[in-house]
Amino acid sequence: QKATGEWQTLDARHHLHSFTDPTLIESEGSRIIVRAEGSTVWDNDGREILDCMAGLWCVNIGYGRRELSDAAAAQMALLPYYNNHFQSASPPMIELAARLAGLTPDTINHFAFANSGSEANDAIARLARQFWQLQGRVTKRTIISRTMAYHGSTVMGSALGGMPHMHAMDGGVSNEVVHIAHPHWYLYGEGLSRDEFGLKAARALEDKILELGAENVCAFIGEPVQGAGGVIDPPSTYWPEIQRICKQYDILLIADEVICGFGRTGSWFGSQTLGIQPDFMPMAKGLSSGYLPVAAVGIHDRVYNVLADGGHLAHGYTYSGHPVACAVALANIDIIENEGLVARVRDDIGPYFMAALDKLVDSSPIVGERRGIGMMAALQLVKNKDTRELPTLTDNASIFCRDYCYNEGLIVRAVGPSIVLSPPLIYTHAEVDQTVDILGRALDATAKKLGV
Ligand code: PLP
């Protein structure tokens, strides 16, 4: 054990943080989290903090579940490592693939394993292009994505994502990815009803395909509900129209389930909540509730059949289907099933959470919109509810609000001018109440700072 200051000094000296300004680590020091249980984490000074982000949208079953550490220990003792290359397999990876086939849509029956969502999406870019290449349609290479999408931090993941600051570091490799606008009705609806806007936003895909030529387009990728881009839940007309367009122009459909999977939207997968029938389903995070790094790519039968006919597949990682990670994922799925967490999100805690947040829209002068579904939500901060004028970067509203929450013992996230929330699926009603109580005070303080 070390004093917090000692950890911070060591950390600042030797560690390059993710998505953090290094000067902040030097000036303020990092937040040292040492322990967690349920939906709560403790810092090195013993301060209790309610984690309304489930880590990074991933600790779906909550922290401290012995079933997972026991599963890891047992598998480590039995077979700590083996791989799936050159005809090998181990029981946990086989069992996990079979289990996932039972949870995903009927057409998805094969799974490739990876270690992170980024790697899963990287793999899909290769497999999807290979799918067309094997059929002699070698020009079908471009992947269409959306602004504010997040698909990972590898070269391909960041190229697929729609965040300009990520592109600035993609190493100059465009990877033949283009983006259409994301379907955020509140900001870009231009007087259309939600449903009309959903159709219009989806038809941007058709326009882009016609512009590029369908013979050059490999796939469309989208998160069922965009997460890291600010929890953008699309109008109900959006995905059916996207589905129609992909079918009409022979474009593969990739539903990135890395956040939406494993109960977060009130179904096992966001695709089921939103009525999507994807060709590829990347999943990670909630697959093991973050206890160990593991990811999977669900593959539609028609895609698998072409890939399987193609012979030797030159793809895979040392840790694809790692037995310990797969054993932990299986124990995690057992808990989600045995505790009925998917139905809990759909029928109980999800609606309770949304209703509680809706009260903040009514009570706060700076919350213009509540977005979200199940246990992922966002509050859109505005300076004026009538004009929907957004706070500027210099207003620093969402970061002020987020930091206020942290100091009061609540972890939320700031995404542009929104506050984003994604608690564990075991979050209690009392924890929702506590969240809304702290958030309400944070919003009051933020409104005062904005002079609203
Ligand atoms: N896809 C989505 C939708 C994500 O939200 C993320 C991470 O937040 C990723 C992919 C990348 O996953 P990872 O961070 O495990 O590489």
Q: What is the rounded CA–CA span in Å between residue 306 and residue 322?
A: 26
Tell me what ipTM this predicted complex has.
0.99
Nearest to 404 by CA among 445, 376, 367: 445
For 423, phi and psi rounded to 5 degrees? -75, 165
Q: Is 229 in the pocket of ligand 1 (CB under 6 A)?
A: no
Rounded to the nearest angstrom, the distance between the alpha carbon of 184 and the centre of ligand 1 is 20
Per the DSSP assignment, residues forming a β-bridge with 410 are 50
Indicate the DSSP class of residue 384: B
Tokens of 171: 């190493």
The CATH H-level superfamily of 31-61+342-450 is Aspartate Aminotransferase, domain 1 (3.90.1150.10)
Close Cβ partners of 293 (under 8 Å, ≥ 6 residues apart): 115, 116, 284, 319, 325
With a 6 Å cutoff on the Cβ, whether 259 touches ligand 1 is: yes
**Which backbone phi and psi does 165 adopt, to 5 degrees?**
-70, -20
| pLDDT at res. 175 | 77
For the chain, domain boundaries: 31-61+342-450, 67-338
Report the relative pairing of strands 295-300 and 217-222 from DSSP bridges. Answer: unpaired
Which runs of E-coded beta strand occur in 399-452? Answer: 410-411, 413-415, 418-421
Residue 237: what pLDDT?
Answer: 98
How many angstroms separate the alpha carbon of residue 329 from the centre of ligand 1? 17
Gap between the Cα atoms of 340 and 241, Å rounded: 32
The atom number, within ligand 1, closest to the CA of 223 reads 3
> What are 105's two structure tokens?
């849509």
Q: In the structure encoding, which two tokens stand for residue 339, read together?
A: 């505790």
Residues of the chain with pLDDT under 50: none
The span from the CA of 419 to the CA of 443, in Å, is 10
Ligand 1 neighbourhood includes 420 CB (under 6 angstroms): no
pLDDT value at position 452?
Answer: 94
For residue 256, which atom of ligand 1 is closest to its CA? 3
Q: Is 227 in the pocket of ligand 1 (CB under 6 A)?
A: yes
Please tell me the distance from the alpha carbon of residue 274 to that of residue 235, in angstroms, as a whole number. Answer: 10
* Closest residue by CA, ligand 1 atom 12: 117
pLDDT of residue 172: 61
The correct CATH number of 67-338 out of 3.40.640.10, 3.30.450.20, 3.40.50.300, 3.40.190.10 is 3.40.640.10
Which residues are paired to 252 by β-bridges? 219
Nearest CA to ligand 1 atom 10: 151
The C-alpha atoms of residue 195 and residue 206 are separated, in whole angstroms, by 17
Strand partners, 411: 51
Residue 171 is predicted with a pLDDT of 61
The reply to whether 67-338 shares the fold of 31-61+342-450 is: no
Give the whole-angstrom CA distance, residue 112 versus residue 282. 9
Rounded Cα distance, 250 and 215, in Å: 9
* Residue-wise DSSP of 60-91: TT-B--HHHHHHHHHHHHH-S----STT---H
CA of 166 to the centre of ligand 1 (A): 13
3-state secondary structure 151-203: CCCCHHHHHHCCCHHHHCCCCCCCCCEEEECCCCHHHHCCCCCHHHHHHHHHH
Q: Whose CA is nearest to atom 13 of ligand 1?
A: 117
